[in-house]
Structure 1
Amino acid sequence: MFAHRTSRRLGALAAAVLLLSTTAPSEAHHAGSAPGPVNAQTTFGWGKPIWQDDFVGGLKPIWRKTGRGTVRNQNGMLTLNTTRVGSISATLARPGAKTGRWEIRLRSRRYATSAANYTVRTELVPVPALADHCGARNIVFEGYKLGSNTANLRIRNLPNRSFDAKTPGMNLGNDRWHTFGVEVTANRISWYVDGHVLRTEKRPEALSGIPFTVKFTMAAVPGKAMNQSRMQMDWLRQYDLAKWNGRSTAAPLTTPGTFAGAC
């Protein structure tokens, strides 16, 4: 009798393990670190993307490169490879959107540590680019210096306003996947990291109401020798606001300040 009960328990345990292994989410499909975290779309129920790039095949002509280095699709990832000096960017040349949700899945790597570190940055930038005012109207998904363990979240708006926050400590080491998202509505901006809402900014002076597109940048320290590095995006997805968030977006405000570089 005891052996029979033990056998049944072991059988039930094996079935449970099999069920978990076949139903667990599996978003990562590239070599490297373990599968990445749940994204905001899944957690908050944003529905299907209205546009996405999974970076399969050759680089689409809608991506515009500026700076030194290479931009290409590599093994299903948009890859920005730096040199040892200067910045490199890739900007999405599509019609901008005044409201919506944008989310990426990102990892980065530095190949040396003896020189200065690049900053990995994803932004919503104005369309047309002339409305940028030297970076004074951008929304930063994430901005972190390679080798650090926190990322900056930021809004800049005219005439010289800045609204800033930082993520809690997180593992931003080589090839560690994370998801970063920004939601822009008519009356707020919210940031999402690994499926969690971290900040929500509602002050009217933070909201520009202009159309945005996406820009990826590996930013160098001007005049410095840099550690050659890369950033890789598994996917970029854009959503409209047709579906309500399935959870509260309440979160702390950012810290207001000024941006001296506005022009």
Structure 2
Amino acid sequence: MRHLHTALALALGGLVLTLAPAAATPDEAPASDPGSRVAARAGSLTYSPQSYVGGQALTFSGSLGRSGVRRITLQQHMNRPGDRWFAVRGFSGTTAADGSFSFSFPAPAMGGIRFRVVGKGGVASPPVSLRAKGQDLTMWVVGQAVAGLPFTIAVDTTPSLVRRPETIGLPVFAGRTLTLQRRVDGTTWETLGTSTVQADGMGWFTGVTAAAGTVVYRVRQEDVMSGANRIGWMQTFPTYVTVLDPGQVLRSSAPVHRPVAMRTSATPTPPPAARRGAGAASTTASSRYGWYPTLWDYTWEAGQSLTSPPDVGSVRTGWWQDYSDGAGRVSRQNGGLYLDSQRSNAGGPGDFGTTRATLRGAAQAYGRWEARLRLKSAEATATDFTVLVELVPERPEDYACGRRNIVLAQVAAHSSTMTFGARADTVQWTGTRRIPSLVHTSPAVAVEVARDHITWFWDGRPIGTVKGGEAVSDVPMTLRFSMVGAPGAEHNQTGVVSDWQRGFAIDRGKQVRSGAALRPSALTACEA
């Protein structure tokens, strides 16, 4: 499958987008507060359009309320307890002689944050509150799919989804490219054709054909990079389509009509066998032990896609590979990496299979990895998915059926126990910890891998250590998020949210060996 590596630092007529990551807030090392010396608030600030998605071009207009040409900066506030105003990195601009300004800039992807314009001399505009819409799309087959007969797939790029208020009132990007794909395996999708978004937000693929049986499709709405837009691609959930044998149905010559009712209720249907009747940011290990600067930092603040490079860092080659062998999807949602088990946030049948997001192109044998983690779940009547945050060998030849994996966290939506540890050939080291519900908390989990030890962290504090090099594989490792379900079994609807993911070198700051010692035991399981 073709991967698009979309750069985020782009010159926009003298204005450069590089939104400061959460690392500039209490999540990161101490930083200067460029807004602390602003003494006066005056003038005005407005933006348009009011309905937008992350990465969409916004036009900011206003005045500092004072005449004279002044250099201006754009500042952002995350609106959490303890947060501060900080500069949007790379932005530069000036006012007109009367103190007014107008510029276009890609919108942030998060909700509930504030922007303001600050001018040289200690004056700031009033802030504006920003709340991005969450781009999404649904698809379905119009009528029946019959082997040997062409059928139509419809796509809605402006759905109003259950328990997804941020999808209500989505803007239409007429002419945006849509790509129809068929699943070959968990990571491979074959492109079947392209179409475009119409003025009403709908898209259509006509003349689709398939052999009898079950086929899994998805549609990607591709990047929008025109003008100041920097909107990353987004895909539907996998959609299972049963293609009937011609002998099972009566042929019909009825014309194809737009199925209006499906615009708000289209939900992927799983195979028959699978059916069944935020507060203040917590402390991080990276800030406590001085691991900065980052090698790479994904903050998901500016409308990126899975194949976009990290926001900041010296390693800018990474991208995320999505995997799904069931009904789940990996996407970016509201400023975070998001794994979801099915289309409907309200629960119900259709949660099956394994969904994964694996970082590619940024592996290292030794270093530190850290991520924030939380879970969502709309039901508790079936089996929970096993949620894993791991380091795994990046090269397939090093994988050794999971016998070199390092687990930062193994959790479930309705459990109060977290497991962590490492594997090395026939030995494993395992630790457990009682935790609050991750549906209501967002801890930072981290691991430090050196030649002579591995140490695990929870909210900035060491919780386990294996000393010596016995547990260290010495092969390039990469970060992986997984939501693992038993094949063909129904599970509780679950969402895995990681607001940010960061990598650090091993030679910065303090190395930590003070976690509780993990005891070894025999390893007999082998992961496929």
Tell me, yes or no, whether TM beats 0.5. Answer: yes
Please report the TM-score for the alignment, with normalisation by the length of structure 1: 0.84
Q: Structure 1: which amino acid aligns with 2:304?
A: G
| Cα deviations by residue, 1:186-230 (Å, 9 ceiling, x for unpaired) | 110000101100111114321211110111001113442101101
The answer to whether the 8 A contact 2:340-2:495 is kept is yes
Which structure's CA Rg is the greater one?
Answer: 2
SS in 2 for 1:60: coil
The answer to whether the 8 A contact 1:118-1:219 is kept is yes
Match of 1:233 among 498, 507, 523: 498
Q: Hey, what does 1:44 align to over in structure 2? A: 289
Deviation at 1:25, TM superposition (A): 4.0
The answer to whether the 8 A contact 2:299-2:501 is kept is yes
Q: Hey, what does 1:16 align to over in structure 2? A: none
- Please state if 1:66 is matched with 2:323: yes
| Cα deviations by residue, 1:17-40 (Å, 9 ceiling, x for unpaired) | xxxxx9x7439x867x31231111
CA distance in 2, matches of 1:249, 1:104: 20
Match of 2:517 among 250, 253, 262: 253
Q: Structure 2: which amino acid aligns with 1:81?
A: D
Q: Hey, what does 1:166 align to over in structure 2? A: 432
SS in 2 for 1:206: coil
| Cα deviations by residue, 1:216-261 (Å, 9 ceiling, x for unpaired) | 0011134421011010111001010232318x53122112112222
SS in 2 for 1:130: helix
Q: Hey, what does 2:484 align to over in structure 1? A: 219
CA distance in 1, matches of 2:377, 2:519: 30
Q: Structure 1: which amino acid aligns with 2:283?
A: V
Q: Which one scores higher on RCO, CA 8 angstroms, separation ≥ 6?
A: 1
Q: Structure 1: which amino acid aligns with 2:504?
A: Y
The answer to whether the 8 A contact 1:144-1:151 is kept is yes
Q: Hey, what does 2:83 align to over in structure 1? A: 26
Q: Structure 2: which amino acid aligns with 1:34?
A: G
CA distance in 1, matches of 2:484, 2:354: 5
- Please state if 1:78 is matched with 2:352: no
Distance 1:26 1:152, change over 3 A: farther
Distance 1:65 1:253, change over 3 A: same
- Please state if 1:55 is matched with 2:306: no
Superposition CA RMSD, Å: 2.2
Greater helix proportion: 1
Match of 1:94 among 361, 382, 386: 361
| Cα deviations by residue, 1:116-170 (Å, 9 ceiling, x for unpaired) | 0011111000020231122111000100122111211110111x22110012x22
Q: Hey, what does 1:17 align to over in structure 2? A: none
- Please state if 1:200 is matched with 2:200: no
CA distance in 1, matches of 2:83, 2:432: 28
Q: Hey, what does 1:11 align to over in structure 2? A: none
**Structure 1 residues not aligned, in runs of 5+:** 1-21
CA distance in 1, matches of 2:492, 2:445: 24
Task: Count the aligned residue pairs.
Answer: 237
Match of 1:179 among 431, 439, 444: 444
The answer to whether the 8 A contact 1:126-1:132 is kept is yes
- Please state if 1:111 is matched with 2:168: no
SS in 1 for 2:398: helix
SS in 1 for 2:397: helix
Q: Hey, what does 2:106 align to over in structure 1? A: none
- Please state if 1:137 is matched with 2:404: yes
Distance 1:209 1:51, change over 3 A: same
Please report the TM-score for the alignment, with normalisation by the length of structure 2: 0.43
Q: Structure 2: which amino acid aligns with 1:235?
A: W
CA distance in 2, matches of 1:260, 1:182: 24
Q: Structure 2: which amino acid aligns with 1:40?
A: A
Q: Which moved more, 1:218-227 or 1:73-82?
A: 218-227
CA distance in 1, matches of 2:111, 2:439: 14
Q: Structure 2: which amino acid aligns with 1:224?
A: A
The answer to whether the 8 A contact 2:451-2:469 is kept is no
Distance 1:30 1:129, change over 3 A: farther
Distance 1:175 1:72, change over 3 A: farther
Q: Structure 2: which amino acid aligns with 1:261?
A: A
CA distance in 2, matches of 1:30, 1:251: 37
